[in-house]
Amino acid sequence: VLGLACAASTGAFDLEGHRGTRGLAPENTLPAFGRAMSIGVDTLELDVAMTADGVLVVSHDPFLNPIHTRDAAGQWLEGKRGPLIRSLTLAQLQAYDVGRIRPDTSYAKTFPSQQPQDGARVPTLKQVFELARSRRALVRFNIETKVYPDHPEDSDPPEVVTKALLAAVREAGLQDRVTVQSFDWRTLQLAQKLEPAIPTAYLTVQTRNSDNTRDPAWTAGLKLEDYGSVPKMVKAAGGAIWSPNSGALTEPLVREAQSLGLKVLPWTVNEPAEMDRLLAWGVDGIISDYPDRLREAMARR
Ligand code: G3P
Ligand code: CA
């Protein structure tokens, strides 16, 4: 399969499929990860949550999201949030169908080329590992813990989720093919302590309305003013990778981060012109809902 030998650990560019291939298949499902591997991504980007019976599953939201979830009777979930994942057993969770976007939503308009996969379930992390193994795909896994200092009731505590994640990675023997990422840097600090060989990716979101780099609750107590810049702060925290939202990235910041020895991995980049610009700046990888477009952008260079 094309591209599978280009792992990020070699220093090569890291082409990452966001939530598998969200632009082409239902997010964070086995069909989306299968499609990403067929496209030849280097890395599968995915998010994890934990069920009531302690199983790590792949979900962006801590709850079943009504924009793409139907119950066992085929009815769309109502309201803004379905049941919390941590309130359901794996069997209860996997009774829901997450293979299609509800058509009357803006999410459906955002991803018009997402191919429905009726019957798709929220997969376990282990199922994703097994899918890659069954395809003999040497992909990496960039795994994000979805834990929330501002909504602690939505997920298990960061130390519980992080320890479960490291145990699952060890059990699968995939320590050399995993990156742990989080906006909640408590996860990353713990992962570095417990499994120092696994690289950590420090996620940052800096927009008009949100900036986790300025909130010590998210940065495990680190204060931006003590470091002077986000790359210096990530370096001081022990990160291997800085993963900013692409809109907040500038070429001087790429240079600064790389001069500190950090890799720069922006998210979530879907427009070809932005891909071209970031590639020209020399970023170390890109996370995209459309890894097929990203391959084309790389081929243009
Ligand atoms: O990998 C970073 C990116 O996935 C973060 O955004 O909200 O899609 O998890 P989100
Ligand atoms: Ca993510």
CA of 177 to the centre of ligand 2 (A): 17
Q: 56-58 and 43-50: which strand pairing?
A: antiparallel
Q: What is the pLDDT of residue 247?
A: 96
Q: Is 73 exposed, middle or buried (0-12, 13-18, 19+ CB in 10 A)?
A: exposed
Q: Is 202 helix (H, G, I), strand (E, B) or coil?
A: strand
Cα(20)–Cα(18) distance, integer angstroms: 5
Residue 147 near residue 161, CB atoms below 8 Å: yes
What pLDDT was estimated at residue 61?
98
C-alpha to C-alpha distance for 244 and 3, rounded to whole angstroms: 24
For the CA of 287, the nearest atom of ligand 1: 1
Task: Using 50 as the pLDDT threshold, list the residues of the chain that sit under it.
Answer: 1-10
pLDDT of residue 6: 36
Q: Are 86 and 153 within 8 A, CB to CB? A: no
DSSP string, 54-103: S-EEE-SSSB--TTS-B-TTSPBPPSS---BGGGS-HHHHTTSB-SS--T
- Please say whether the beta carbons of 46 and 33 come within 8 A: yes
Tokens of 125: 């992390």
How deeply is 119 buried, as exposed, middle or buried, from its count of CB atoms within 10 A (0-12, 13-18, 19+)?
Answer: exposed
Q: Which protein residues touch ligand 1 with a CB less than 6 Å away?
A: 18, 45, 47, 60, 144, 181, 203, 243, 267-268, 287
**ipTM metric:** 0.99
Helix (H/G/I), strand (E/B), else coil: 78:
coil
Across-strand partners of 264?
A: 242
Tell me how far the alpha carbon of residue 47 lies from the centroid of ligand 2, in angstroms.
Answer: 5
Q: What is the end-to-end Cα distance of the chain in Å, rounded? A: 21
Residue appearing with tokens 């220093």: 11
Point out which residues pair with 140 in neighbouring strands: 43
pLDDT at 28: 99
pLDDT at 11: 66
Question: Residue 73: what are its φ and ψ, rounded to 5°?
Answer: -90, 0
* Ligand 1 atom at minimal distance to the Cα of residue 181: 1
C-alpha–C-alpha distance, residues 8 and 135, integer Å:
19
Residue nearest to atom 1 of ligand 1 (CA): 267
Domains of the chain: 8-300 (3.20.20.190)
Protein residue with least CA distance to atom 2, ligand 1: 267
Q: What is the pLDDT of residue 7?
A: 37
Hey, whose CA ends up nearest to atom 7 of ligand 1?
A: 60
Query: What is the position in ligand 1's atom list of the atom closest to the CA of 183?
Result: 5
15 Cα: distance to centroid of ligand 2 (angstroms): 15
